[in-house]
Structure 1
Amino acid sequence: MARLFHHSHATTGTDDAQKRKDAQIAKRTVPKSAADLSLSDEEASSSHAADDLLLVMGYESELARTRSTWQVTFMSFVLSSIPFGLSTTFAYPLVGGGAANIIWGWVGISLIIVCVAVSLGEITSVYPTAGGVYYQAWMLSPPWCRKITAWVCGWSYVLGNVTITLAVNFGTALFLAGCINIFTDSAGAGIFASEPYQIFLIFLAITLLCNAVSAFGNKWLPILDTFAIFWTLAGIVAIMVTVLAVAKNGRHTSDYVFGDFTPSSGWPDGWSFCVGLLQAAYATSATGMVISMCEEVRQPATQVPKALVGTVVLNLVAGFAFLVPLVYVMPDITALLNDPSGQPVPAIIVSAVGSQGGAFALTIPLIVLGIICGIGCTTASSRCTWAFARDGAIPGSHWWKQVNPSLGLPFNAMMLSMVVQIALGCIYFGSSAAFNAFSGVGVIFLTVSYAIPVLASMLGRRELIKDAPFHMGRFGAICNWITIGWSLLAVPLFCMPSAIPVTTTSMNYASVVFVGFTFISMLWYFAWGRKNYQGPPA
């Protein structure tokens, strides 16, 4: 019956598409909401053109297009929240190689991610849908393998979005606990016990808050993203100026900051440096998540690619300005790694400032950024989950593909993502290394999902994107090669433990989570998807 229906749908596709287009045009005779009334004629025309393009790709527009170029750029910046993302994973390059690993690892990975952003931007300018890389993988793959290719890419993209959102919220909980423990008792111990149940409850509260703001404050999210830009700038300047000016325990020389390489991971020097790159990779991994917002952007074919590339460049500068002052005033690395909180950045700031209250005040911008980042990731994660469910690829898709009419967003898909995050968060009760698994597997899944459409485009000699509005010519082809090379390195790299010999706390469980979720998705494919999954209505 499913095949018969699909055949019937194909034979009458032209008539159905015309009916849908007529319905869309009819809807436009009356503004949808007060937001539509505030748009200029040019903006309204752009939104209608984007809806028409979406209709050609097989979907009706169900979400309001409220974001401009700057607003989608700001959201892309928020998804990374560079000062916060670099803070929660600061221990990785400390173990990997110290100062040089921190500074040059960040610069090197940022340049690689520029290439990833260019590669995704070219393809997104041709296929700007909420399905993102999943839809692109279907369109760019040969017919004989497009179903399994899109399936693998879609599950990688959804799971990457969910686990990165989980890592952000869990990282905020751990970072907040570390900041509280800037305050110590008479014995020099932190005032907060940081028991597993306490960390989990903080994580739960942050997760619920992010979902509530994303669901019920959707129309104000562009304002929040804009605020985050200025908040980030103010926070970086405050930290940079204060720690360098006070520097209570002195400053390192520039030779140390930019040249000292002291690995303590137990790995060979070169591999140790590479393992330390997880900090930079985690902070930039959310680059492609903004593609899921394409159906809420007025001119997605041009605005989203510009946001992708522009944000990475902005992040490179912001991250460099944040890291360099911290390394100049960084205390002994061994002492930082042995800090009970497991959070080096609060320890660096309190060492430089010499005041517990002053140091805590400087961490407040980072904590707020963590929450804003969680809201942005929650929003993007819900959109990609909804888009994948829209094509029937997730069990119970008829629930998750619904758009809540009063909220104007996929509320059910958001709740599904939240429940999965909370369930996975319970792993922390069994292992304190859970955050390492969440951050590592998120990077792996997203890297795989980004690489699949880029590789498919390369195998097709980039023919299907040659007329892309955001075509980068020969530079784009070079970026494609760099993207694939980075992906081949990143997947095994971030399955490795950060130090050897391996213990239960230093073990990297990302590989276990990655293999487990991959197995479940493939089991669902062979049990149901192979016969029933039809892919996007392209």
Structure 2
Amino acid sequence: MLAPESYRKLAAWICGWLYVVGNITITLSVNFATALFLVGCINVFETPEGQPVLEGSAYQVFLIFLGITLLCNLVCSLCNKWLPILDTFAIFWTFAGVVAILIAVLVIAKNGRHSGSYVFTHFEVNSGWTPGWSFFVGLLHAAYATSSTGMIISMCEEVRAPATQVPKAMVLTIFFNLAAGLITLIPLVFVLPDIQELILLAQPVPAIIKSAVGHEGGSFALLVPILVLGIICGIGCTTATSRCIYGFSRDGAIPGSKWWKVVHPKLDVPFNGMMLSMVIQILLGLIYFGSSAAFNAFSGVGVIALTAAYSAPIFVSMWEGRKTMATAPFCLGKFGWFCNIVSVSWTLLVIPLFSMPTTVPVVDAGLVNYAPVVFVGFTLISLGWYIAWGRKNYVGPPT
């Protein structure tokens, strides 16, 4: 809709594939992170010898990830009409969990509290990168926390007045994430234990809360709200991804589209597309057997693909002088140019940045960043399908 006819088809194809890849891999990374987090929650309990209760080996993490993925798909497919209620519940659940953690860790603080100077000015490099570049590489987790905001777009056809309500939801979500994130993270930094111990953990939050509370059962109770929220987040991402695959399949842009664009007559969801996404996620999850850093690969490629997809229409709009923005419900005028330039600049930084290993030097396969491999793999599939089918048949979304 933003691009002229001369390159409209190719632009839509590239943007669509980036969006599909981003949706699938970010959903995978959310479920994988929840699996790792669950292992960390279980291990706040220790054996009499002081060892973790759960070893957290590759097959154990994968099986937990498999269970969470199946649970999310089960809820999304069988409980579609209850999802809005679940979303509302998530809002109140988040606030309750944040308040509980905030009060408990600051009041108890068994091992003491750091100074405000430590919390807001201390900078420590443990990745092997130079200090400045280490900061930028560390932006992956911040970008990951907000990268799925645009997945709200997938739900446009199920929202009233999407032209105004979807942008409002996207913007408000950013502010909500910012507030909840800071209120959660700042107290945790005040009670942060030795960083050298934390960097060895896949999920450090359980260890931080246990260090502050000093009680296994109490620590686990405080972790439950985050754990439940992780599962709810996985359900939300699974829902959005199924709609994304359905929409792009309706355009014929995914191999086997005739199966993936079907809406189940009884469940009223694109069940086939949901199952396609689930199978791809499970297959990609096998990477964890080869690399314990797989989560960074999944989150990295998800952030790269989604950020690039979000920027594609922005770039096209700028290239065409933002002509189509004049009639938009929310037209920012000259300030819109500033926002667009920042967005595109961020994208150009993100793509090479999140393709790099998180630590250097890379001495074994477990430290390799597999994000570029996954990204290039999906790109080759997209290119091959465009040459074989899209070049002659793809016309873009139906209007």
Letter in 1 for 2:27: T
Q: Does structure 1 residue 236 correspond to structure 2 residue 104?
A: no
Q: Does structure 1 residue 395 correspond to structure 2 residue 237?
A: no
How far apart, in 2, do the equivalents of 1:523 and 1:496 lie? Answer: 26
How far apart, in 2, do the equivalents of 1:493 and 1:367 lie? Answer: 29
2:239 aligns with 379
Letter in 2 for 1:530: R
1:205-220 to 2 correspondence within 5 Å?
205-220=67-82
Q: Does structure 1 residue 253 correspond to structure 2 residue 115?
A: yes
How far apart, in 2, do the equivalents of 1:282 and 1:189 lie? Answer: 32
1:415-494 to 2 correspondence within 5 Å?
415-494=275-354
User: Which residue of the other structure, out of 355, 378, 383, is the alignment partner of 1:517?
Assistant: 378
Letter in 2 for 1:520: I
2:150 aligns with 288
SS of 1:466's partner is helix
1:140 aligns with 2
SS of 2:366's partner is coil
Note the residue ranges of structure 1 that are not aligned, 5 or more in a row: 1-138
Q: CA deviation at 1:417?
A: 0.8
Q: CA deviation at 1:240?
A: 0.7
How far apart, in 1, do the equivalents of 2:200 and 2:32 lie? Answer: 21
TM-score (norm 2): 0.98
Q: CA deviation at 1:404?
A: 1.4
Q: CA deviation at 1:394?
A: 0.6
C-alpha contact 2:251 2:396 (8 A) present in aligned 1: yes
How far apart, in 2, do the equivalents of 1:469 and 1:311 lie? Answer: 19
C-alpha contact 2:72 2:234 (8 A) present in aligned 1: yes
C-alpha contact 2:291 2:367 (8 A) present in aligned 1: no
2:129 aligns with 267
How far apart, in 2, do the equivalents of 1:191 and 1:305 lie? Answer: 45
1:159-174 to 2 correspondence within 5 Å?
159-174=21-36
2:177 aligns with 315
User: Which residue of the other structure, out of 380, 383, 389, is the alignment partner of 1:528?
Assistant: 389
Q: CA deviation at 1:375?
A: 0.4
CA RMSD of aligned residues (A): 1.0
How far apart, in 2, do the equivalents of 1:531 and 1:238 lie? Answer: 57
Q: How many residues align?
A: 398
C-alpha contact 2:357 2:367 (8 A) present in aligned 1: yes
C-alpha contact 2:297 2:370 (8 A) present in aligned 1: yes
1:193 aligns with 55
Q: CA deviation at 1:194?
A: 1.4
Note the residue ranges of structure 2 that are not aligned, 5 or more in a row: none
TM-score (norm 1): 0.73
1:408 aligns with 268
How far apart, in 1, do the equivalents of 2:74 and 2:257 lie? Answer: 22
Q: CA deviation at 1:263?
A: 1.1
How far apart, in 2, do the equivalents of 1:370 and 1:388 lie? Answer: 27
User: Which residue of the other structure, out of 507, 518, 536, is the alignment partner of 2:368?
Assistant: 507
C-alpha contact 2:291 2:368 (8 A) present in aligned 1: no
Letter in 1 for 2:70: L
Q: CA deviation at 1:534?
A: 2.1
Q: CA deviation at 1:320?
A: 0.6
Letter in 1 for 2:395: Q
Q: CA deviation at 1:430?
A: 2.1
Q: Does structure 1 residue 354 correspond to structure 2 residue 223?
A: no
Q: CA deviation at 1:173?
A: 0.6
1:302 aligns with 164
How far apart, in 1, do the equivalents of 2:277 and 2:373 lie? Answer: 20
Between the two proteins, what is the percent identity of the paired residues? Answer: 65
1:69 aligns with none
Q: C-alpha offsets along residues 398-438 of structure 1, whole Å, 9 cap, x if unaligned?
A: 11111112122211111111111111112212222211111
SS of 1:505's partner is helix
Q: Does structure 1 residue 223 correspond to structure 2 residue 75?
A: no
How far apart, in 2, do the equivalents of 1:424 and 1:459 lie? Answer: 36
